[in-house]
Amino acid sequence: MAHVYLASTLPALRFTGEPPFSGDTLLFRCAGVLDGDEQHDVERVLRRHDKAPRTDVARRWVELELSFSAEIARVRAARAGMERPRTEGYTGIVEDPVERAFAVENPAGREDALDLFRWNCAEDLAREAPFGFPAVLAFAVQLGILERRAAFDRDQGRETVERLVAEKAQVQW
């Protein structure tokens, strides 16, 4: 019953929107409602730390994230001319969206495509139990995406790109 109350009080999120509140606020709202393992997994998703997940739904999310990260690394390696075979556990779930994202030339558009894929995977997760813990965990995933995107700073990003290009130009081969 606690999951129903918590899930029903969470606001709807939009991929192009702003976070309605912080991850800290979500953790506070979850405290005393979720059991210890669930609270741990919501914090794990929000803080993106490496502690082992404790619930089945979080374990499945972590497996998807690991596959996603491995595929991103494989595509980046291939673009750099290095051979990196697909890792075990090829699913077809992450490979095509990552390939499509890296077909986007604009780095910001590529990042949008990768984030949107993760966002949609979280929505799929929430559909398992719209008023259960999967919905709460999916909300945490999506809130984390919004928080990270809200922290982007265009000017700082431009300065970083210019610095990296200047550094690359100075390298003597």
What are the residue ranges of helices labelled H in 17-173?
23-30, 36-47, 56-79, 95-102, 107-127, 133-150, 154-170
pLDDT for 125 beyond 70: yes
pLDDT for 89 beyond 70: no
Other C-beta atoms closer than 10 Å to the C-beta of 76 total 13
Return d(Cα 63, Cα 60) in angstroms, integer: 5
In terms of pLDDT, which residue wins out, 159 or 137? 137
Query: Model pTM?
Result: 0.86
Residue 155 confidence (pLDDT): 72
pLDDT for 44 beyond 80: yes
Return d(Cα 151, Cα 16) in angstroms, integer: 14
Confidence of residue 114 (pLDDT cuts 50, 70, 90): very high
Q: What's the average model confidence in pLDDT over 133-153?
A: 94
Residue 1 confidence (pLDDT): 67
Residue 138 confidence (pLDDT): 98
Contact, 18 vs 150, CB < 8 A? Answer: yes
Residue 58 token pair: 């979080």
Burial of 165 (0-12, 13-18, 19+ CB in 10 A): exposed
**Residues 57-86: tens digit of each pLDDT:** 999 999 999 889 989 988 988 888 887 766
